[in-house]
Amino acid sequence: MSNAIAEAPATKLSELDQLKKFTKVVADTGDFETMREFKPQDATTNPSLILQAATKPAYSYILDKVLADRKGSGLTGHAQIEDVIDHVLTAFGMEILQIVPGRVSTETDARLSFDTEGSIAKGRQLIGIYEKAGISRDRILIKIASTWEGIRAAEVLQKEGIHCNLTLLFSLPQAIACAEAKVQLISPFVGRIYDWFKANQKRDYTGAEDPGVQSVTTIFNYYKKFGYATEVMGASFRNTSQIVELAGSDLLTISPDLLAKLAASDEPVTRKLDPAAAKSSDIERIQLDEQAFRFLLNEDAMATEKTAEGIRKFAADIVKLEHFIGSKL
C-alpha cells in the first residue's frame, strides 16, 4: 500500500491575479463597490465617471454633504457651481482613498486644456481641498489633457510637488513632451486609438497588431530605453486582449466590466513589456521643442482628432455636471 498522499490540484490564478504580478492594476470607475471587489492599487476618475456616479441614488449622500458644507461659501452664480463641483470631485476622491491603498486621479476642467495658467490654478485648488482634509498630495494625481499648454501646466505643478496624470494621450510626441516635463504619469488611450484605426481602415485588430497596443508598447520602450521616470498607465480598453498584450506596463487602468472578465478567466498571462529588453533596443531619441511637438502631432491625424474629440467630450460632461449641480442649488 502506497504511503503517498494525493496532492490537491493547484488552483489556477485568474488573469487578473496573474496580471497583478507584472503590473499595478488601477480601477477606471467612480463606483466604490467595484473597487472593493477587485482590490486595485489606485483608481482614476474623470468628469464622465463622476457625472454617472453623482446622479445615482447610492451616492447622493456625497453630493448632499458637499451642498450642505458649501452653503456658507459666500459664492454665487457660476463661481458657486464651480466651487461645488471642485468639492464633489475631491469628495469622491476622498471616499475612493478609503478603499484603495494607493492614489486617486482627479481631473481638471477640460475647458482649460489650452489655458496653462488656468490649469495650474485649478490643480492648486484641487490639491488645496485635499490637503485641507488631511490628504497627502502624494496620494493625488491631477489629470490634465496632453496638449502643449497642459504639459507646461503639469511641469509647473510637478515642481511644486503636485503630481500629475497627463490624459488624452495618443502619440509618442505627446509622451516624450510629458516625460521631459517630468510629469508623474501618463495615460495613453489604447481603446480610442483602436477605434480610430478600425473605423479608418475598415478592419478589426487583435493581439499585438492592435494599433493602440503598439502605441503604448512604443511609448513604454522609449521611456525605459532613455531612463525616463514618468510612469506609463495604459487606459481606455475595449477588450481583455488589449490588456493582456500590455502586461508589464507600469500600470493599467481598467473598467469594471473588463476587471470582471479578467477575474473570471484563468488563461495564462505572460509579461509582454520588459524594461530590460527596451534598454537594449535600438530606438533613436527624438528632439522636441514646441514647434516640433505641434508639427509632429499635426502630422498624426489619429492623435490630432482623438485629442480634440476627447477634450470636447470631457468638456461637454463638465457642462452636464454644472447643470446637474445648478439644479440642486
Please, which pLDDT band fits residue 6 given cuts at 50, 70 and 90? low
- Mean pLDDT for the stretch of residues 222-247: 98
Which pLDDT score, from 0 to 100, does residue 51 have?
Answer: 87
What's the fold here for domain 18-328?
TIM Barrel (3.20.20)
Taking the CA atoms of 288, 294, 300 and 303 in sequence, report the sign of the dihedral they define.
positive
Q: Where are the domains of the chain?
A: 18-328
How many residues make up the chain in this entry?
Answer: 329
Which pLDDT score, from 0 to 100, does residue 45 have?
Answer: 87
DSSP state of 209: G
The per-residue pLDDT for range 71-113, each reduced to its tens digit, is 999 999 999 999 999 999 999 999 999 999 999 999 999 999 9
The region, left, alpha or beta by phi > 0 then psi within -120 to 50, assigned to residue 262 is alpha
**Percentage of the chain lying above the pLDDT 70 cut:** 97
Which pLDDT score, from 0 to 100, does residue 175 have?
Answer: 98
DSSP state of 283: P
Please, which pLDDT band fits residue 49 given cuts at 50, 70 and 90? confident
Cell numbers linked to 166 = 497627463
As separate numbers, helices (DSSP H) first and strands (DSSP E) second, the chain gives 15, 8
**DSSP characters over 303-322:** HHHHHHHHHHHHHHHHHHHH
Q: Which residues pair with 264 in a beta bridge?
A: none
Which pLDDT score, from 0 to 100, does residue 5 have?
Answer: 54
Please, which pLDDT band fits residue 161 given cuts at 50, 70 and 90? very high
Residue 104 CB partners (closer than 8 Å, separation 6+): 42, 43, 44, 45, 93, 96, 97, 139, 140, 141
Which pLDDT score, from 0 to 100, does residue 46 have?
Answer: 86
Q: Which of 43, 10, 12 is nearest to 259 (CA)?
A: 43
Whether this prediction's pTM lies above 0.75 is answered by yes
Burial 215-224 (b: 16+ CB within 10 A, else e): bbbebbbbbb
pLDDT at 168 exceeding the cut of 90: yes
Give the Å distances, CA to CA, from 73 to 69, 197, 300, 323.
Answer: 8, 48, 46, 19
The per-residue pLDDT for range 10-29, each reduced to its tens digit, is 679 999 999 999 999 999 99
Residue 234 CB partners (closer than 8 Å, separation 6+): 187, 188, 190, 216, 242, 243, 246, 249, 251, 252, 253
**CA Rg, the chain, in Å?**
21
Please, which pLDDT band fits residue 274 given cuts at 50, 70 and 90? very high
Catalytic residue positions?
A: 143
